[in-house]
């Protein structure tokens, strides 16, 4: 029933212009994204309809709520890889995580428990209430350690809305930005959408991500990919988005 939504709309215009998703919660049972392999497969198939061929799985790692570690992530990846193989699905998968900047992250970093993306990229998420204290220092230290920081959906943090120059500062410091398709689609409200478009038009959208947790997210993104709004934004997006640097 849910998938009737997609069936009539599998047209060329619904495609993404890249083949790699670098932010999603479709590893089964490790956070509040997909809970079963079946759900994971549904979400993977939705992405494949948009032309996605490879996915970096980025489950949450946060204090208290989702205290994942290299073992839980490896186990989720094993289960999903097996499910994908059994289903005969050709999707290419790799995994890392979406690391919230908190004490667990700092702990895991100190203890060598970070699972980076290919090529040492790290997807980091700010807190939503306020910018993490000492953020610039932490980002600098990560660079010194050889990590390439991708800030997850910077357009979703309200404390930046009155200070757009801060985005330029963070970007000029060498941090890469990953914008959510869901933000562009308006899923997180007008301010996040407007800010996402501003970041795109100011040349700072280095990556796009689905940040997909469940099928409603897929439906929202699908609708957006059919919109004139997406078509109008495409020339800007194509100029800076480089999701396909990853070869899985």
Nearer of residues 111 and 184 to Fe ion, judged by Cβ:
184
Q: In this structure, how many other beta carbons lie within 10 angstroms of the beta carbon of residue 238?
A: 10
Distance of CA 49 to the CA centre of its chain: 18
Binding-site ranges for Fe ion (CB under 5 A):
98, 211
Token pair of 243 as six digits: 């999701």
CB of 17: closest distance to Fe ion in angstroms?
21
Residue closer to Fe ion by CB (options 13, 31) is: 31
For residue 20, the cross-strand partners are: 54
Query: Strands, E, within 63-214: which ranges?
Result: 92-100, 121-125, 148-152, 176-180, 207-209
Cβ proximity to Fe ion, 4 vs 39, nearer residue: 39
- The residue among 12 and 129 lying less far from Fe ion, judged by its C-beta, is 129
Nearer to Fe ion, 37 or 181 (CB): 181
Q: Report, in Å, the least distance between residue 152 CB and Fe ion.
A: 6
Q: In whole angstroms, how close is the CB of 1 to Fe ion at the nearest point?
A: 26
- CA dihedral (125, 130, 136, 141) in degrees, to 10, reads -50
Collapsing DSSP to helix, strand or coil, 132 comes out as coil
Q: Return the number of the residue (206 or 211) whose C-beta is nearest Fe ion.
A: 211
| E runs forming strands in the chain | 20-21, 54-61, 92-100, 121-125, 148-152, 176-180, 207-209
CB of 212 to Fe ion, least distance (A): 9
Give the residue nearest to Fe ion (CB).
211
Least distance CB 143 / Fe ion (angstroms): 22
Measured from the CB of residue 26, what is the shortest distance to Fe ion in angstroms? 11
Of 125, 170, 163, 166, nearest in space to 143 by CA: 170
CA dihedral of 3, 191, 51, 150, whole degrees rounded to 10: -130
């Amino acid at each position: 029933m849910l998938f009737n939504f997609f069936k009539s709309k599998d047209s060329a215009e619904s495609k993404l212009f890249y083949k790699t998703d670098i932010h999603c919660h479709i590893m089964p049972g490790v956070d509040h994204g997909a809970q079963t392999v079946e759900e994971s497969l549904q979400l993977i198939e939705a992405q494949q309809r948009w032309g996605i061929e490879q996915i970096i799985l980025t489950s949450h790692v946060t204090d208290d709520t989702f205290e994942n570690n290299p073992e839980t992530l490896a186990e989720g990846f094993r289960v999903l890889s097996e499910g994908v193989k059994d289903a005969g699905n050709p999707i290419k998968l790799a995994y890392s995580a979406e690391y919230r900047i908190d004490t667990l992250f700092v702990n895991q970093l100190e203890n060598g428990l970070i699972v980076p993306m290919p090529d040492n990229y790290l997807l980091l998420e700010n807190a939503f209430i306020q910018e993490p204290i000492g953020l610039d220092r932490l980002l600098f230290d990560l660079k010194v350690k050889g990590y390439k920081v991708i800030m997850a959906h910077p357009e979703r943090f309200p404390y930046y809305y009155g200070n757009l120059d801060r985005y330029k500062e963070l970007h000029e410091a060498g941090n890469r930005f990953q914008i959510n398709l869901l933000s562009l689609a308006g899923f997180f409200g007008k301010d996040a959408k407007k800010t996402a478009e501003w970041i795109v038009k100011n040349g700072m959208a280095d990556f796009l991500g689905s940040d997909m947790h469940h099928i409603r997210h897929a439906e929202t993104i699908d609708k957006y990919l059919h919109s004139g709004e997406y078509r109008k934004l495409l020339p800007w997006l194509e100029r800076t988005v480089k999701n396909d640097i990853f070869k899985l």
